[in-house]
Structure 1
Amino acid sequence: MKVPAILATVVGAGLALLSWSQTWYELVLASNAGGGASDAIAVAGSIASPALAALGLAGLALVAALAIAGPGIRIILGVLEVLLGGSIVLAASLSIGDPVAAVSPAVTDATGVAGSEPTAALVGAVVATFWPTAAVIAGLILIVAGVLVLATGTRWPASSRRYRGARLEQAGPGQAAQPSSDHAIDDWDELSRGDDPTDDIVPTDDTGPTDDTGPTEPNR
C-alpha cells in the first residue's frame, strides 16, 4: 500500500495548491461602493484562504519524507498528514461558511475601506465557484492517505539499498570477503593507534629475475 498512499498524498497536496491559485468567488460590490460597483471582481483562493499555500507545500514535503522514512517515522508522518488534511478542510470550510469575510481583502483593495463591518456593508453579492469545494476534497484525500499510512506504514517494504552496496575485496583462501568500507575503517583505526597499515605490505619487483653472474664466454 506504499504506492497508493504516496500517490494519494501527491494528489491531495497538488489539488490544494491548484485550488489556492484559482478563483474562489465572484464579488459584486453594492451600489453605495462608488464607481464600478456593478463589475464583478474575481477573488482568488490566495485571498480567500491564504493558508492553503503553506499547507499544500507541506503535503508535498511529506511525499519525499514518506518515500525514505523507516517504519517508526512513518507513523509520525501519518499523524502529521491527518492533521494537515484536517487543517486544509478547516481553512476551506471557514471561507465557505463566511464568504463575505473571505472576500473582505478584495473589497479593501477595490474601495480602500478597511474593517470587517465596513467592508461587509459594501458587499452586494458573492458567488462561489467549485474551487473552495475542491480544497475541501483535497484535505479529505490527505486525511484518507494519512489513515492509510497509519494502517499499513509499518508493513511497507524497505527503501532500496542499491546505492549503499559495498565492493568486496579479494579474500585469501579460507577467509571471508571483507567490504572495502570495512577495510578502510580498519586502516583508520590502526592509524589512530599509531600503527602504519602499510608496514605489512611486501614490495614486489615486477622487473623479473636478474642474473648477476655476468656474461659467459662461449666454449672454445
Structure 2
Amino acid sequence: MTGRRVKLLLILAVLAGSGLALLAWTQTWVEVDVTEAAAASHLSVTGSTAAPAVTALALAGLALAGALTIAGPVIRGVLGVLAVLLGVSVFIAALAPITDPAAASAPAVTAVTGVAGQDAVRTDIAGAAITFWPWIAVAGAVLLAAAGVGVLLTARRWPGPTRRYQTRFAPAEGTAPAAGTARSEPTDAAADAPDAVGDWDQLSRGDDPTA
C-alpha cells in the first residue's frame, strides 16, 4: 500500500472515530425510572449529561484530523500520540455510564427531584438501563486510538506536502531555453535603432550626427 493511501485511510479513521463519538454524545445513553417524581417517572438521559467530556474530546479529534493533512514527519508523530490519548480518554468517559448508569444519570435526576448527593439520588432511582449509544462511543474511541497507533507506525512513509504552483524562471545565459518556449533573436530593426547617447556625444563635440 502506498504512503499516500495509508495517509488517507488513517485520516479517515480519525475522522470516523471522532464522528462516531460525537454522534453518540447527542443521543440517549440511559433510561431511568424515578420513584419520587411521579410526573417525571421516566427520564431519558443523553450523552451530554451522562458523559459531558466526550464532546470536547471528539471535537479535538476532528481538529487533529485536519492537522494531519498538512503536518510534517515530526509533527505527525506528536499528533499520533495525541490521537491515542484522545481515544483512551473517550473510552474512559464512555465506559463510566456503562459501568454505573445510576451515577451517570444523577444530574438529570437531581434536576427533576431536587435531591442531591449520590446516595440520596440512588434511593430515588427504581431502575436505570443503558442504550447502545455508549457502545457506539466506545467503538469510536477504539477506532481513534487505533488510528493514532497507525500514524505512529507509518508517519515516515507519508508523502510530504507538495507545491501546486511553481515560479518559472528564464534560463541562464548560455543554456538552452525550456521546451515549448520561443527563443528571441536580435532583429535588423533593433540593430539599426539610433544610439541616443552616441548622438549626444557627437553634438557635444560639435559634430552633426545626421551627416
Query: Is TM more than 0.5 here?
Result: yes
AA aligned opposite 1:4: L
Indicate how the Cα distance of structure 1 residues 5 and 172 shifts in structure 2: closer, same or farther if over 3 A, else same: closer
User: Who is 2:38 aligned against?
Assistant: 35
Write 1 or 2 for the structure with the bigger share of helix. Answer: 2
Count, aligned residues: 180
Indicate how the Cα distance of structure 1 residues 133 and 71 shifts in structure 2: closer, same or farther if over 3 A, else same: same
Q: Percent identity?
A: 49
User: Who is 1:137 aligned against?
Assistant: 139
Aligned-residue offset at 1:175:
6.3
Tell me the TM-score normalized by structure 2: 0.79
2:26 maps to 1:24: no
Aligned-residue offset at 1:36:
1.7
Is the 2:84–2:149 contact (alpha carbons within 8 Å) kept by the matching residues of 1?
Answer: yes
Give per-residue Cα distances to partners, 1:149-174, cap 9 Å, x unaligned.
011111111122114x2x23324522
User: Who is 1:109 aligned against?
Assistant: 111
Tell me the TM-score normalized by structure 1: 0.76
Give per-residue Cα distances to partners, 1:65-119, cap 9 Å, x unaligned.
1111111111111111111100100111112111111000000111111111111
Counterparts of 1:156-175 in structure 2 under 5 Å? 156-163=158-165, 165=166, 167-174=167-174
Is the 2:37–2:112 contact (alpha carbons within 8 Å) kept by the matching residues of 1?
Answer: no
Unaligned 5+ segments in structure 1 are: 178-204, 215-220
Segments of 4+ in structure 1 off by > 6 A? none
Equivalent in 40, 45, 55 of residue 53 of structure 1 = 55
Return the alpha-carbon distance in structure 2 between the equivalents of residues 106 and 176 of structure 1: 78
AA aligned opposite 2:95: S
Return the alpha-carbon distance in structure 2 between the equivalents of residues 169 and 57 of structure 1: 44
Unaligned 5+ segments in structure 2 are: 1-5, 178-189, 200-208
User: Who is 1:88 aligned against?
Assistant: 90
Is the 2:11–2:69 contact (alpha carbons within 8 Å) kept by the matching residues of 1?
Answer: yes
